[in-house]
Amino acid sequence: MSDPFKLFNTLGRDKQVFEPIDPGHVRVYACGPTVYDYAHIGNARMAVVSDQLVRVLRHIYPKVTYVSNITDVDDKILNRAEELGVEMKDITQKYARIYNQDMARLGVGLPDLQPKATEHIQSMIEMIQRILANKGGYVDGGHVYFDVRSLPAYGGLSGRTLDELNEGVRIEVSEHKRHFGDFVLWKPSQDHEVGWQSPWGRGRPGWHIECSAMSFASLGLPFDIHAGGVDLVFPHHENEIAQACCATGNQSLDAYAKILGTNGFVMHEGQKMSKSIGNILLVHDLVKEHAPVVLRLLLLKTHYRQPLNWTSQGLENAKLLFQRILDIFSIQQPQMGTINQDVWAALLDDLNTPLALVHIEALIRKIRENGYLSEDVNQLYASVVFLGLMDADHLAVVDLPSPGEIEALLAKRELARKSKNFKVADHIRQSLLKQGVEILDTAGKSTWKYRL
RNA sequence: GGCUGGGUGGCAGAAUGGUCAUGCUGCGGACUGCAAAUCCGCCUACGCCGGUUCGAUUCCGGCCUCAGCCUCCA
């Protein structure tokens, strides 16, 4: 029997035992990226966390459906397209493809469904119609707004009241809105802008409606877990919930998703990542200099709800840890075993990956002390694979010399050593090290291994 | 101004009302042509002030401070 899986619910803010709505089919949705540029490490954090969550769920439940959308209609994309003088589609298709490629390198499995906003306009229109029928919105000059005052529980996720919202207002409120907290469900498009026909004229959807409509269309409401970054809690998730509550006629905030999982921000060397500072870390660039597995490892080294400080030292530490794992496998070839119990227990406790990694480290120590028992090594292997850290693809590091080349140099060095020509021997060691190969001198003969 | 969530040793980062987190780094040692790996030993913590308690890093209150959100954002 497995221990219960506990998860922190941002809705209500407490850690609770996860009980699926239907144990025969667990349903998860994560807010995916707006595809108008390369994915940054923050996008990757959400993807890796969700991926790890889904791995755990799949290990417990027979069927899990994981949906994560691609936002491919949005003003940022429109602006970018206009700047470049291309179609919106040209941009979104390119970056959606790159996003999936980058995430795959981080060991993130493709979602079971990856709906695109532009392919679900009809679902959105239908949901807006339901909201209007339930008196949760109003139409004004081609705009459709959600009426936040129609939902008494509005603000319950982020913990703010409509009055508090009022105090925070720093932007000019559109004259169409009846309450500054109201948000747009549908907005008119200019002739040159992308648009779709709707009961309210030619236009395009507001940002929040797509997730409500696509999760409804692909998973049904309510579903089990909705994941996303902290910055989305307000207003995005708050508004998604409000729309779903209104459309389904259920005023309870958990009528959308039972659990809202929220991952923390990524900082870069202690600073906020932002375009103005110019310190945005793109996965696309990071994988050029680091083994992708190390990036995933670093993302898992911080608990998903904590802010993650991305530093070069952290990267170095993650690399060392992975190297130690590799060292064990180079001494004792692993076979698939079962996941280490402590690692598993840590994951069951609100996806505590840093604690799981501590247990991995303890297991490494145990393996060394006990003389590389295959049972332990297999356990380590299974655990590492479960964390998405080991997979043939992740071990690939570009431009490494082939075993043949290495053996030839090693033989040459062996001759040099025999004749005590250590200068030559050391030179060979140094040059190979620069190419990512480390020589290990042992009593019998010298061996080598790839070094990250 | 309002709302969230944090503040643990040089760094990263967990748990916990009372004997060890752990890893990396640093220092000392074993081993070693060199370089590693490995092993042994050592040093640094719990933002501040009160309270509850026999005892608090852990619970409560206040304060300071950091970050995020309130405008697009993972």
Give the whole-angstrom CA distance, residue A344 versus residue A422: 49
Same domain, A409 and A373: no
Q: Report if residue A260 sits inside a domain.
A: yes
- Phi (first) and psi of residue A156, to 5 degrees: -65, -25
The answer to whether some atom of strand B lies closer than 7 Å to the beta carbon of A415 is no
Task: Note whether residue A145 is domain-resident.
Answer: yes
Where does a domain end: A266, A296, A331? A266
Tell me whether residue A287 is in a domain.
no
pLDDT at res. A1: 43
Mean pLDDT within A33-37: 92
Q: Is the pLDDT reported for residue A397 higher than 50?
A: no
Residue nearest the C1' of B15 (CA based): A355
The predicted structure's pLDDT at residue A2: 62
Residues A92 and A139 grouped into a single domain = yes
Please report, rounded to whole angstroms, the spatial distance between the CA atom of protein residue A313 and the C1' atom of nucleotide B27.
Answer: 21
Residue A295 (CA) to nucleotide B20 (C1'), in angstroms, measures 30
The set of strand B positions with any atom below 7 Å of a protein CB reads 1-6, 11-15, 21-25, 32-39, 67-74
Residue A243 shares a structural domain with residue A367: no
CATH number reported for the structural domain that contains residue A366 in this entry: 1.20.120.640
Does residue A172 register a pLDDT over 70? no
Amino acid at A174: S
Task: Please state, for a pLDDT cut of 70, what percent of chain A lies above it.
Answer: 94
> pLDDT, tens digit, for every residue of A339-394?
999 999 999 999 999 999 989 998 998 888 888 888 998 899 899 999 998 864 44
- Residue A442: predicted pLDDT: 72
- Specify the pairing of strand A266-268 against strand A308-310: parallel
- Is A36 inside any structural domain? yes
Average of per-residue pLDDT across A207-219: 94
Average pLDDT, chain A: 87
Least confident among A51-60, A76-85, A111-120, A397-406: A397-406
| Strand B, CB < 7 A, residues 347-366 of A | 352, 354-355, 358, 361-362, 365
Report the predicted TM-score, pTM, of the whole model to 2 decimal places: 0.90
- A169 or A277: whose pLDDT is higher? A277
Total domains in the fold of chain A:
3
pLDDT of residue A335: 83
Task: State the DSSP string of A22-58.
Answer: STT-EEEEE---B-SS--BHHHHHHHHHHHHHHHHHH
Quick: pLDDT tens for A288-325.
Answer: 888 888 899 999 999 999 888 888 888 888 888 888 88
A177 and A256 co-located in one domain: yes
pLDDT of residue A186: 94
A35 and A149 co-located in one domain: yes
The nt closest to A263 (CA vs C1′) is B74
List the domain range (segments joined by +) for residue A239.
Answer: 6-266
Mean pLDDT, residues A219-243: 93
Measured CA to C1', what is the nucleotide nearest A413?
A: B34
Q: Sheet of A137-140: strands edge to edge?
A: A137-140, A143-146, A183-188, A203-205
Q: Which residues pair with A226 in a beta bridge?
A: A29, A260
| Confidence (pLDDT) at A169 | 52
pLDDT of the residue at A353: 94
What ipTM does the predicted assembly reach? 0.89
What pLDDT is attached to residue A393? Answer: 43
Q: Give per-residue pLDDT as tens, A36-47.
A: 999 999 999 999
Say whether both A377 and A412 belong to one domain.
Answer: no
CA distance A327 to A372: 11
Q: In 10 A of CB A365, how many CB atoms?
A: 11
**How high is the pLDDT of residue A50?**
95
Q: Give residue A209's pLDDT.
A: 95
For residue A126, what are the contacts with CB-CB under 8 A and spacing of at least 6? A213
Residues A374 and A445 in one domain: no
A 10 A CB-CB count for A329 gives: 16
Within 131-160 of chain A, which residues have Cβ less than 7 Å from strand B? 158-160
**Residues A337 and A366 reside in one and the same domain:** yes
Token pair belonging to A350: 């609100």
CA distance A165 to A162: 5
Q: What is the CA radius of gyration of chain A?
A: 26
Q: Is strand B less than 7 A from the beta carbon of A317?
A: yes
Q: Is A152 exposed, middle or buried (0-12, 13-18, 19+ CB in 10 A)?
A: exposed
Residue A433 and residue A349 in one domain: no
Q: In the prediction, which pLDDT does A410 show?
A: 87
- Residue A23 located in a structural domain: yes
Region of A121 (left: φ > 0; alpha: ψ -120 to 50; beta: rest) is alpha
Average pLDDT on A268-276 reads 78
Same domain, A320 and A260: no
Are A417 and A334 found together in one domain?
A: no
Position A391 in a domain: no
Query: Is A392 inside any structural domain?
Result: no
Cβ of A302 < 7 Å from strand B?
yes
